[in-house]
């Protein structure tokens, strides 16, 4: 599920990133609820689409945000 489809979403802001890439950053605010799993996805827009480059996964445990994994994603992994 994407964060904007999540019933827990309190607010989401998108801001332009200065520079040659003319990209943006999106920041979502959700409440701290034990068991919530979150993926922070980094990517780039290419050829009219978006490609994922890196994912960091977190889980809320005992009120703390705990990193559970990191992975680089190649185009081959997206098929």
Sorted by where each begins, the domain ranges of the chain are 1-31, 33-79
pTM more than 0.85: no
How does residue 32 score in pLDDT terms, banded at 50, 70 and 90? confident
Share of the chain above pLDDT 70, in %: 86
pLDDT higher for 76 or 10?
10
Alpha-carbon distances of 12 from 44, 47, 70, rounded to whole Å: 19, 26, 23
Mean pLDDT of 71-76: 76
More confident residue, 3 or 68: 68
Per the CB < 8 A criterion, the answer to whether 59 and 41 are in contact is: no
Residue 38 burial by CB count (10 A; 0-12/13-18/19+): exposed, middle or buried?
middle
């Amino acid at each position: 599920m994407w964060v904007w489809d999540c019933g827990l979403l309190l607010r989401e802001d998108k801001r332009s990133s200065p520079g040659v890439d003319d990209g943006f950053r999106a920041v979502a605010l959700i409440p701290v609820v034990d068991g919530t799993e979150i993926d922070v996805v980094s990517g780039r827009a290419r050829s009219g689409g978006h490609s994922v480059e890196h994912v960091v996964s977190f889980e809320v445990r005992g009120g703390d945000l705990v990193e559970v994994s990191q992975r680089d994603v190649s185009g081959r992994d997206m098929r």
